[in-house]
């Protein structure tokens, strides 16, 4: 078997993974996982360097994904995700019971509050936005369904991190760069964040005061499924700091948010 053959797993690879693992498919998924909010295109050499896949294999993997519409090649030779990836993500979101069951309560919350509301889950050290109903004056216009933000800076992320034990927290944030892409009031160290998470655990909700970006505040509460020990997700209300101070987030907005979370939690437990 050639070193770059993708048809079967090498013996060492077979021992480390499932006996049902298809190595060529795994390599393709590794390539797709390279792209995120900050990495929108890569050259073939960069793909090789980041994945460790040999150049001939990477060329064939990229060509296969390109043929299926999952990658597309730019005029300068760069490679970026194709439309087929978006279709898969859209189908996954539409099929998610969490998203489906949350849609009506979140829409009612957005209409009654007049503010932006979001549903998110923790994926590594990021919050993945599964639903977003946006008020037009919010400063983070670039965030949409499928976007991710550092969990350490967001109200939803901090809320979900607060339910991790210390070992889980350290492992989750092992690669997080405190201070990078953060707002003026963001935590500057893991020790700083731990203190904030302790407050969140005690009060049962999370506030974000210009930690994601200047001019943005939010408040978040957990959504629980049948497992009452860990949230299934979090929801928040995000506002412009020019229109709401921190105190206002602890008032009627938090009450409405809590009622919505209770509604979604009941729906989840009933499935």
Residue 157: pLDDT over 70: yes
**Residue 183 scores a pLDDT above 70:** yes
Per-residue exposure over 59-97, b if at least 16 CB sit within 10 Å of its own CB, e if not: ebbbebbeeeebbbeeeeeebebbeebeeeeeeebeeee
What average pLDDT is seen over the chain? Answer: 86
Architecture of the CATH domain 11-87: Orthogonal Bundle (1.10)
CA distance 183 to 212: 5
Please, which pLDDT band fits residue 13 given cuts at 50, 70 and 90? Answer: very low
pLDDT for 93 beyond 60:
no
Q: Which residue do the tokens 């979370």 mark?
A: 261
Residue 141 has pLDDT above 70, yes or no: no
Q: Give the CATH number of domain 96-270; options: 3.30.450.40, 3.20.20.210, 3.30.70.270, 3.40.50.300.
A: 3.30.450.40
Which of 33-42, 90-99, 111-120 shows the lowest mean pLDDT across its residues?
A: 90-99
CA atoms within 13 A on the CB side of 148: 16
Instruction: Output the pLDDT for position 1.
Output: 39
For residue 156, pLDDT beyond 80: yes
CATH 3.30.450.40 residue ranges in the chain? 96-270
Q: Where in the chain is the domain with CATH 1.10.10.10?
A: 11-87
Average pLDDT over residues 31-37: 82
User: Taking the model in full, what pTM does it have?
Assistant: 0.70
């Amino acid at each position: 078997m050639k070193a770059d053959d993708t048809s079967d797993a090498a013996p060492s690879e077979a021992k480390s993974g499932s006996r049902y693992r298809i190595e060529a498919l795994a390599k393709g998924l590794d390539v797709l996982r390279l792209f995120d909010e900050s990495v929108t295109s890569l050259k073939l050499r960069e793909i090789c360097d980041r994945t460790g896949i040999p150049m001939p294999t990477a060329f064939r993997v990229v060509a296969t994904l390109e043929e299926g519409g999952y990658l597309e090649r730019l005029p300068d030779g760069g490679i970026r995700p194709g439309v087929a990836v978006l279709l898969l993500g859209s189908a996954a979101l539409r099929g998610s019971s969490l998203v489906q069951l949350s849609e009506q309560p979140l829409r009612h919350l957005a209409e009654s509050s007049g503010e932006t509301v979001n549903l998110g889950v923790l994926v590594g050290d990021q919050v993945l936005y599964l639903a977003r109903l946006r008020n037009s004056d919010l400063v983070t216009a670039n965030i949409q369904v499928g976007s991710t933000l550092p969990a350490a800076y967001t109200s939803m992320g901090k809320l979900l991190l607060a339910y991790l034990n210390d070992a889980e927290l350290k492992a989750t944030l092992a690669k997080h760069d405190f201070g990078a892409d953060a707002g003026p009031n963001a935590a500057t160290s893991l020790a700083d964040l731990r203190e904030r998470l302790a407050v969140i655990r005690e009060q049962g909700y999370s506030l974000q005061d210009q930690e994601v970006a200047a001019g943005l505040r939010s408040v978040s509460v957990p959504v629980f499924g049948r497992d009452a020990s860990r949230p299934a997700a979090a929801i928040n209300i995000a506002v412009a700091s020019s229109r709401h101070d921190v105190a206002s987030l602890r008032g009627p907005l938090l009450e409405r948010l809590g009622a919505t979370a209770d509604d979604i939690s009941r729906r989840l437990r009933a499935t």
